[in-house]
Amino acid sequence: MRKTVTKLADGRELIYYDSRGDVIRDAADPRPLHPVLTTTEIRHDPILGDDVAIASHRQTRTFLPPAEACPLCPSSPGRPTEIPAPDYEVAVFENRFPSLTGEAGRCEVVCFTSDHHTSFAALGEDRAALVLAAWTDRTAGLAALPAVRQVFCFENRGEEIGVTLGHPHGQIYAYPFVTPRTERMLASAAAHAARTGGRNLFDDTVAAERDDGRRTVLATEHWTAFVPYAAHWPYEVHLYPRRRVPDLLALDDAARTEFPQVYLELLRRFDRIFGRGAPPTPYVSAWHQAPFHDPRRSEFALHLELFTIRRAPGKLKFLAGSESGMNVFINDVPPEAAAERLREVAGP
């Protein structure tokens, strides 16, 4: 892999990731951009204990432009974009409309491909491996920033999810705190260890799902994918490496090699859930990594959570009163039925 670091016209960082070592990336950003001015503020909710980012500047961010005006496509004569090169494989840059900035963290955009009209599921295994390498490299880079406590790599796919750009891309958030969801996981892990004489919650959960089998979607030599027993979403899959590690940096070569095949198969199955020819399935794909500079790191387990808000053809799962008001999820699809359907739609 070749990594090329450069700057956009307003000083934001841009990084190209190429599979070949002889690629030269020297295209300059010709746009007359001024430095990005942001107003992010982290406020603490004393009742719930959560931290909330107030980022009013995001109200003016680009919203669903037509393909010919996409800012994530490569630049072409007379149409400069966020990526000055005429083509690219994987590119990462600082978000122009970040939710987190400076001491409040950092936000980056990850472009999986220069092809506006494709999806992650349609990529080849080599490109998926390059994206994994980019996620890993950015996790290391962002973790080195003094203010950062946790790095979150994720993809939102589909207008139903709320994406504002149709180009295949994801994001990386570097938080200056440990997120509430991770805190809950760590608290559950500590309680489980206390009850069981030091056993690890994540190890026991994955082992139980592999032994039970009813909710297992894929079980390979190095990865396990299953629908959780208490799934929150209509179709939800959790993907764990067989060897527990705290973050992407700690994955061994065998798990890295096998990941593209497993992940692409899961994404393709998601697009088949509602029948061939159905609109692409909207989803969120989220890497959960251990917080940095935290004594509980070794007890956490890296995993990816993939879920869709579509519960049936033409029907979405909305977070209404119980979910939004009380954080009590009500799932219309039994996890065992969801797992069975995901096994039924295995490739090709």
How high does pLDDT run on average in the chain? 96
**What is the per-residue pLDDT for 61?**
80
Pinpoint the residues of the chain covered by CATH 3.30.428.10: 2-175, 180-344
**Alpha carbon distance 320, 326 (integer Å):** 10
> pLDDT-based confidence at 56, cuts 50/70/90?
confident
**Percent of the chain at pLDDT above 70?**
100
152-165 mean pLDDT: 96
Residues 6 or more apart in contact with residue 62 via CB below 8 angstroms: 71, 97, 164, 165
* Residue pLDDT, tens place only, 10-21: 999 999 999 999
Please indicate whether residue 104 or residue 339 has the higher confidence score (pLDDT).
339
**What is the per-residue pLDDT for 57?**
78
**What is the per-residue pLDDT for 149?**
97
* Residue pLDDT, tens place only, 221-272: 999 999 999 999 999 999 999 999 999 999 999 999 999 999 999 999 999 9
**What is the per-residue pLDDT for 184?**
97
Residue ranges for the known binding site for Zn(2+) are 70, 73, 116, 167
Residue ranges for the known binding site are 70, 73, 116, 167
> pLDDT-based confidence at 35, cuts 50/70/90?
confident
Q: Which of 169, 238, 288, 303 is catalytic?
A: 169
Helix (H) / strand (E) element for 297: namely none
For residue 39, pLDDT over 80 is answered with: no
> pLDDT-based confidence at 146, cuts 50/70/90?
very high
**What is the per-residue pLDDT for 102?**
85
Q: What is the pTM of this model?
A: 0.97
The matching CATH number, chosen from 3.40.50.10140, 3.30.230.10, 3.30.428.10, 2.60.40.1180, for 180-344 is 3.30.428.10
How many of the other CB atoms lie within 10 Å of CB of 265?
18
The question of whether 169 is a catalytic residue gets the answer: yes
What percent of the chain is helix, strand and coil (3-state, nearest 5)? 30, 25, 45
> pLDDT-based confidence at 277, cuts 50/70/90?
confident
**What is the per-residue pLDDT for 103?**
86
Q: Given phi > 0 = left and psi -120 to 50 = alpha, else beta, which region is 37?
A: beta
**What is the per-residue pLDDT for 49?**
94
For residue 348, pLDDT over 80 is answered with: no
Q: Which of 167, 89, 141, 150 is nearest to 286 (CA)?
A: 150
Q: What is the CATH number of domain 2-175?
A: 3.30.428.10
**What is the per-residue pLDDT for 252?**
98
Q: Which of 224, 216, 202, 221 is nearest to 297 (CA)?
A: 202
How many of the other CB atoms lie within 10 Å of CB of 37?
8
**What is the per-residue pLDDT for 60?**
75
For residue 196, count CB atoms less than 10 angstroms from its CB and return exposed for 0-12, middle for 13-18, buried for 19 or more.
Answer: exposed
315-321 mean pLDDT: 96
Q: Which of 316, 272, 307 is nearest to 160 (CA)?
A: 316
- Main-chain phi, psi angles of 12, to 5 degrees: -70, 150
How many of the other CB atoms lie within 10 Å of CB of 253?
8
> pLDDT-based confidence at 58, cuts 50/70/90?
confident
Which of the 8 DSSP states describes residue 58? G
**What is the per-residue pLDDT for 37?**
79
Rounded to whole angstroms, the maximal C-alpha distance in the chain is 65
- Give the three-state DSSP class for 286: strand
75-95 mean pLDDT: 97
